[in-house]
Chains A and B, each alone.
Chain A
Amino acid sequence: MIRTKSCKLLISALLSLLMVAQVQAQSAEEKGLAIAKERKSRDLGWQDSQADASMILRTANRQEIERRMRLLTLEMQDDGDKGLTIFDQPADVKGTAFLNYSHAVEPDEQWMYLPALKRVKRIASKNKSGPFMGSEFAFEDLSSFEVEKFSYKYLRDEKCDDQDCFVVEQIPAYEHSGYTRLVTWLDKAHYRAHKVEFYDRKNSLLKTLTMHDYQLYLDKYWRPMKLSMQNHQTRKSTDLVTHELSFRTGLTEDDFSQAALKRAR
């Protein structure tokens, strides 16, 4: 009895040792991917959100301008999220609406409604790396995190914002991306990104994104109230500040259709 028990114990001990060894044998790529999957899994199921936000654009010598907008987002299963941006300021673009179906490795689909023209225009472009509304954010920086968008490599553990963090390198899978790689700092507690460094096509540091003031929604979903993007080459910067955010507001696919664009005010 005792012998079999101890035998079982021994076997399970050996097994667990083996598993530890396996974890240790896990390559940096596998570990990076595992972290990315965990990050995504912790952010599933929020359904939809509506936000009031400001973009504050700054030049190298700190001149600045604020643009107001509303951001509507619909969570999609196994695809990039759908987003609807309605511009409120400046006055002459009020009511202009921008609809974006983001995709991980395919070109995004984009439409724009121009109230002065009363027409919806589809914009067909492979370009995800261009700036969003003249800011330091590219379209690809703002679209939802999808595991397939990158290949991964775990680099090291490091402190970030006084927390224990993973540092993971992400290499874009989309061939027209503007970046060679991203380096992301994620806290181990909640898998929230705290800092992202963007490297351009010649692998020079182009921009650093930092996340500030994380708030918890629906007891599960962490959202930063401020995103700061600093361009190191042009020394321009942009803050994306969220004033109000609510989840599960009852938005459906119908609210993200071309017809809905015209209704959006």
Chain B
Amino acid sequence: MSTHKITTQKVNFKVFRFNASEDYLPYYEDYNMDVTSEEVVLDVLNRIKWDHDGSFSYRRSCRHGICGACAIKVNGRSTLACKERMNDMIELFGNELTLEPLSIKRAVKDLIIDKGDFWEKHDAIHPYLISDVDEHPEHEHLVTPEEAERLLEADLCIQCGACHYACPVVEINEDFFGPAAFAKAYRFEADVRDDALDKRLLHLHEEKQGLWDCVKCFECAEVCPKDVNPIDKITKLHQMLFKEGIATSNVATRHAVGFKHSIARNGILDEGGLVLYSEGLGIVKHVPVALRMFVKGKIVPPWALTKSKNLDEIKKLVKSSSTAKF
């Protein structure tokens, strides 16, 4: 027998309520409940429905962190309700917890959202193996453990949407594919059996949905309940574009490459030179702010730039350690 002791705490839940077919505006209902140290967030949702209001609606299915149905937001943090322990939520946010749908603007009924945008983007990256399969193969298609490892954690994604609706770019730019779709694209790009390598990458690169528009805020890595680390996969897709020779010259690719040139020249950056390299003629739009910065002593003229000491070491390393071409 375990000697583990179950403790109880009082928590005040503010719960988002809304019925799109009846209500003009959403409202919040308060529930004061005793929460035990054994419970997960989903247990609380169940108790609200079973003990307080049978009309309360939310998605749930497997209760084991596999189906991805029950993701909601607790105090603004995306969370998989069946995996997140109440104790951890109380430790993070205290005893006043707000339960909301992943996206308020997509709410349909209470915590249920219309996840259509998520699936649309998921579908758009061709989330399946594209392969010219021999219908009568003579051998099995062997994948080495090393090759399988390239998929990394990307294969663990359960499409719960926690990262998608935590991403500030998805919130602003509705065309942006979002971290989950990119991580899924990586999962197939990294698969040696997949034949669509550059086709899928090309599509990600050409479309305006922004493989390069990620703001690098790490919200997706922070919320993912399966440790998929989507931003790491976005970085790897960027690297693949260069490696496969698909990267075309645009402000984002030139910006990434520009760092190498700037470092090789001065060690520390020449900020103005980097913007010029990235933007080309587009630099004119920065001139008004740049002039104001110059007046305030915030722009160092090219002839007065600081260079790193022992610059020859840096030049040598840039030469010997470069692994990418553009």
- A, B in one complex: no
Q: Give residues in A with beta carbon < 8 Å to B.
A: none
Q: Give residues in B with beta carbon < 8 Å to A.
A: none
